[in-house]
C-alpha cells in the first residue's frame, strides 16, 4: 500500500505530472520548450506528439495552438486580468491559480479552431469538422481536456483545461 507521501511524490516526477488546485506545483517545472506557432511554446515531446496528431487528422491548418507553456508570472497575470474583467466566479471557473495550472509544466496546450478573434480563455473548439477528428484521435493517445477550456495535452499528460 502506498502512503500519501509516496503518491504525492509521484505526482511531480517524469512526464506524468498532476497539477491542479489540490496538487499545486511544489517545484517550478523546467521543461525543454519548443515553439509551436506565434510564440506558443510546449514541452518538446508533447509538441512532437501534438504535431503528429494534428498531421494525422489533417488539423494543422484548421486548429490553432492558443496557449501552451506559461511562467508563473504569466499565469498570475491571466488570473489578475480575468478577475478584473470578468469577476471571481468566471475566473474560478476558467482560470487556474498560479502554481495550480498544468500550463506551467509545459505539457498542457489550449487549442482552438483557427478563426478571427480567438477567445484566449475559452477558445472555440466545436465538436465538428477537424476539431471533432482531433477529439476522436484523443481516444488513441491524446486526451482532451475537461469542461473548462479547449485545452488538449499530448500522450499521457492530461489537462483539466486551465
Ligand atoms: Zn488551458
| Distance in angstroms (rounded) separating the CA atoms of residues 120 and 22 | 24
Considering the domain 4-72+99-153 in this protein, what is its CATH number?
3.30.1380.10
Distance 80 CA to ligand 1 centre (A): 16
Distance 58 CA to ligand 1 centre (A): 22
Distance 5 CA to ligand 1 centre (A): 27
Q: What is the pLDDT of residues 51-103, one digit of tens each?
A: 988 998 998 999 999 999 999 999 999 999 999 999 999 999 999 999 999 89
Q: What is the pTM of this model?
A: 0.78
Give the SS3 label for residue 58.
coil
> What size, in residues, is the chain?
162
User: How much is the mean pLDDT over the chain?
Assistant: 80
Which residues hold their Cβ within 5 A of ligand 1, which is an ion? 110, 149, 151
pLDDT at 49: 87
Confidence of residue 8 (pLDDT cuts 50, 70, 90): low
Distance 118 CA to ligand 1 centre (A): 14
Domain ranges of the chain: 4-72+99-153
- CB 142 within 8 Å of CB 53: yes
Q: Rounded to whole angstroms, what are the CA distances from 88 to 51, 80, 92, 109?
A: 35, 10, 6, 23
Distance 148 CA to ligand 1 centre (A): 8
User: 8 CB contacts (<8 Å, ≥6 apart)?
Assistant: 23
| Distance in angstroms (rounded) separating the CA atoms of residues 75 and 49 | 24
Residue 140 has pLDDT above 90, yes or no: no
Cell of 68: 501552451
Amino acid at each position: 500500500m502506498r502512503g500519501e507521501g509516496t503518491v504525492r511524490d509521484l505526482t511531480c516526477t517524469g512526464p506524468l505530472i498532476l497539477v491542479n488546485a489540490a496538487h499545486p506545483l511544489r517545484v517550478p517545472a523546467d521543461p525543454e520548450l519548443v515553439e509551436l506557432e506565434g510564440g506558443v511554446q510546449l514541452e518538446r515531446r508533447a509538441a512532437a506528439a501534438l504535431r503528429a496528431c494534428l498531421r494525422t487528422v489533417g488539423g494543422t491548418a484548421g486548429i490553432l495552438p492558443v496557449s501552451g507553456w506559461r511562467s508563473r508570472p504569466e499565469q498570475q497575470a491571466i488570473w489578475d486580468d480575468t478577475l478584473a474583467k470578468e469577476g471571481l466566479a468566471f475566473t474560478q471557473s476558467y482560470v487556474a491559480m498560479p502554481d495550480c495550472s498544468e500550463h506551467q509544466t509545459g505539457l498542457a496546450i489550449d487549442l482552438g479552431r483557427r478563426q478571427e478573434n480567438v477567445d484566449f480563455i475559452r477558445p472555440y473548439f466545436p465538436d465538428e469538422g477537424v476539431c471533432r477528428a482531433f477529439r476522436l484521435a484523443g481516444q488513441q493517445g491524446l486526451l482532451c481536456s475537461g469542461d473548462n477550456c479547449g485545452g488538449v495535452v499530448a500522450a499521457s499528460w492530461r489537462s483539466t483545461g486551465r
